[in-house]
Amino acid sequence: MIIDHNDTTDPVIRQLLDHCSTIAIVGLSPKPERDSHRVARYLQQAGYRIIPVRPGQKEILGEKAYPSLDDIDVPIDLVNLFRRSEQIPAHAQQVLRLKPKGFWMQLGIENQAAASLLAAAGIRVITNRCIKIEHERLCR
């Protein structure tokens, strides 16, 4: 059976969300009014462990923050990005070491080169979608 890692149908997204427990959030802001903060708080309340990735922060939402994906020393199931599209390839290179089940680019974020690289490595890629909206729609 061939798995299309770029398949982003509802059943595929739901399966990814159902089989993840730890989500690294790159670009997570410590400011409660920011979208990344609201999304991370929602994910925590939904039962996920979040791993903040934000240089200069020691802790966000009660979790130890890491300066980069390269610094994470715990298993990660999913990487969720709040970064500009042109910044994604550098993060994709870091993600290869973590070997998560998925790589999620938030609403308005797409990078085909990064998506192709990660899909070729067997990592499910979701682009241009909000993980909070999709979780509310598919998993609640």
Give the tens place of pLDDT for each residue, 86-111.
Answer: 999 999 999 999 999 999 999 999 99
pLDDT band at 6 (very low <50, low <70, confident <90, very high): low
What the block records as the tokens of 134 is 């999709």
Residue 5 has pLDDT above 90, yes or no: no
CB 131 within 8 A of CB 18: no
Residue 52 has pLDDT above 50, yes or no: yes
Q: Which fold has domain 10-139?
A: Rossmann fold (3.40.50)
pLDDT band at 25 (very low <50, low <70, confident <90, very high): very high
pTM of the predicted protein model: 0.93
Q: How many CA atoms lie within 13 A of 17 on its CB side?
A: 23
Task: Please report the pLDDT score of residue 8 as a whole number.
Answer: 79
**Domain ranges for the chain:** 10-139
